[in-house]
Amino acid sequence: MSAAEDVLARPVFIAGAYKPFAAFTLNDVQARASELRQAAQAGPLARVGGIARAWGELARALSAAGVETVGELDPDIAADLGRKAWVVPPSFL
Give the global pTM: 0.88
What is the sign of the dihedral through the CA atoms of 57, 52, 28 and 77? Answer: positive
User: In degrees, to the nearest 5, what angle opens at C-alpha 36 toward C-alphas 81 and 86?
Assistant: 35
β-pairing, 11-14 vs 17-20, is antiparallel
What string of pLDDT tens digits covers the 93 residues of the chain? 799 999 999 999 998 999 999 999 999 999 999 988 888 887 777 778 889 999 999 999 999 999 999 999 999 999 999 999 999 887 765
